[in-house]
Amino acid sequence: MWDSPSKVEWSKFKAGLKGYLQMTNDSDPVWEDIKIKLLTGGTGDHDNAVTLSAFEKILYWFGPLKGEDGETILTRIPRFYKTNGFHFLVVLPSATAVQMLSKESPGAFIDRLNEGGSCPIREAPWTLSVRGNKGVNHHRIIIDNGVISVKNDSFQVKKPSKNLFDLVAQLQTQYPNDFSSPQPPPQRGGILY
């Protein structure tokens, strides 16, 4: 049973994370992104404290804190933000994904954070939304024993991946609807949000 506090002040959390990751730089813009996600959960409301549940979501979406390859969560998050097709600055609802993709040609796709509605974040942290010939299809991206794959009865990836970037590259050659056109991530302060 968890007997520690369920939330901690941001400055203490940041100091602890910096110590664990053995970092000295706290002027990197990724700190502000993490702070916003952890403190507000996308709602805009916060009391300058990080909750256990918010930190859990961050770990499912962007973890682990330290990877086997030496990459940390603070170097991984900017890779997500800068990669076309990856919309991870905010939780992008499925209706917004459909609205964005319905204007595009078949093959356009968005990879976005799972909201945790019908499928828990711990089972499927991300959702792949793809514009097909007959509309937009949504596929959960799952992690099972450290292997990333697509949860879909009609399509299976040939080789499950160890990271989301490799999975997307593989899908671009295997997806049955010519999955090939990543939609650029919105700029900060973009019109979608």
Whether residue 2 is contained in a domain is answered as no
CATH of the domain at 161: 3.30.505.10
Same domain, 37 and 109: no
Same domain, 40 and 104: no
Number of structural domains in the chain: 2
Same domain, 106 and 67: no
Mean pLDDT, residues 86-91: 73
Q: What is the DSSP string of the chain?
A: ---S-SEEEHHHHHHHHHHHHT-----STHHHHHHHHHHHTTSS---SEEEHHHHHHHHHHH--SB-TTS-BHHHHHHHHHHSTTEE-SS---HHHHHHHHHTSPTTEEEEEE--SSSS-TTT--EEEEEEETTEEEEEEEEEETTEEEEE-SS---SS-BSSHHHHHHHHHHH-TT---EEPPPPPTT-TT-
Same domain, 101 and 67: no
Whether residue 191 is contained in a domain is answered as no
Same domain, 16 and 71: yes
Mean pLDDT, residues 40-45: 52
Same domain, 101 and 42: no
Whether residue 1 is contained in a domain is answered as no
More confident residue, 180 or 93: 93
- What residues make up the domain containing 68? 7-81
- Plot region of 83 (φ>0 → left; ψ -120 to 50 → alpha; else → beta): beta
Same domain, 71 and 114: no
pLDDT tens digit string along 137-176? 888 888 877 777 777 655 666 777 777 878 777 777 766 5
Same domain, 114 and 35: no
Residue 188 has pLDDT above 70, yes or no: no
Residue 47 has pLDDT above 60, yes or no: yes
Residue 39 has pLDDT above 80, yes or no: no
How far apart, in whole angstroms, are the C-alpha atoms of residue 107 and residue 128? 12
pLDDT of amino acid 191: 32
pLDDT of amino acid 37: 73
pLDDT tens digit string along 58-88? 888 888 888 877 888 888 888 877 777 777 7
